[in-house]
Amino acid sequence: MALTQGDFVGAVARLNDLTRRQLIKWSPCVPTPRSHAGVSAAIAVEMFKQKFSFEATYDERILRITQFESLINPLLPGSYKYTLDVRDQDGSLTFQFPDVEGISDLFRSIQTQKLDIEGFIKKLATG
Amino acid sequence: MLSTFADWASVISLGVTVVNTYLIVRIKQGIVLNLTLEPILSRLRENSENMNRHLSYYELHSDNFLKVVNVCEANIKTIRHRLGYRRGWFLRGVLRSMRKYRKDRTQPTAQEVYSSLLHVCQGVANMLEERRITG
């Protein structure tokens, strides 16, 4: 595979764009089981605990994003880590994205999508 | 005519002084870059986070998005100034997308700015990691 880091950054930015435009719908799921986590996540779980996970199906693939919180000092910057991976139909990990820029932004966009502020305001306005 | 030993010694000492000055300036620039790269990366990440937030409701927040673009452009130019034009070549994409955005303030061009900024953040993060490894 001749994928570059730039390809991954571009892919994450595109996923984020599709999420903002509601073309990908994410739903909360059970955080990634430790035994199924990839190498970098396996290292991360030593100092980080899994907090939230969201899952979405796109192009017949299951995408999962997980937020990890630092066990040492959750108030410091960088106390959250994120993993983005692709899973098969059984939920087994098949590919984990490298730790590239934009995954944390994608997670925030998913949280915004789940809050559905637009729907909430419209609901309030129409009474 | 440089015939005596003293004349040659003067020329050599001038050369050594020039080389030393150049090395001191280079080392000073390296120190400044090492100390400021991480804070600049934090600021760029903050810019990308804000852009992402404004992109979620772009029609409402397009003015705020432009404000973030202006701040971000200043940060990018600071990095280019510190890296020099040759090493800062990878910054041209985001600056071009910002110019394009000012002419056409739509969501797709805003998305392009955000996307290019992520590439810049990744480039700076890689540079920082290399510097940590090589010292």
| A6 occurs within a structural domain | no
Q: Does the ipTM surpass 0.90?
A: no
What are the pLDDT digits (tens) for B47-71? 999 999 999 989 889 999 999 999 9
Mean local confidence (pLDDT), B1-13: 82
Domains belonging to chain B, first-starting first, are 34-134 (1.20.120)
Return the higher-pLDDT residue of A78 and A49: A49
Domain-embedded: residue A46: yes
**Amino acid present at B63:** D
For residue A124, being part of any structural domain is answered with no
Indicate the pLDDT class of residue B31, thresholds 50, 70 and 90. Answer: confident
> Is A8 inside a domain boundary?
no
Picking from A112, A94, A92, the residue whose alpha carbon sits closest to that of residue A104 is: A112
Q: What 3-state class would DSSP assign to A111?
A: helix
Report pLDDT for B1: 59
- A39 pLDDT more than 60: no
What pLDDT is attached to residue B5?
Answer: 83
* Mean pLDDT of all residues belonging to chain B: 91
Which residues form the domain of A56? 28-115
pLDDT at B50: 96
Please tell me which of the candidates B49, B56, B115 has its beta carbon nearest to residue A13. Answer: B115
Number of domains in chain A: 1
Name A66's bridge partners: A53, A83
Check if the beta carbon of residue B127 is closer than 8 Å to that of residue B34.
Answer: no
Residue B42 touches partner A, C-beta closer than 8 Å: yes
Please check the confidence at residue B132 and state whether its pLDDT lies above 90.
no
A54 belongs to a structural domain: yes
User: In 3-state terms, what secondary structure has residue A37?
Assistant: coil
Q: Give chain A positions within 8 Å (CB) of B42.
A: 77
What residue in A sits closest to B123 (Cα-Cα)?
A6
* Cross-chain residue pair A101–B45, CB shorter than 8 Å: yes
Asked if B122 lies within 8 A of A100 by C-beta distance, the reply is yes
Residue A36 has pLDDT above 60, yes or no: no
Q: Across the strands, what pairs with A82?
A: A67
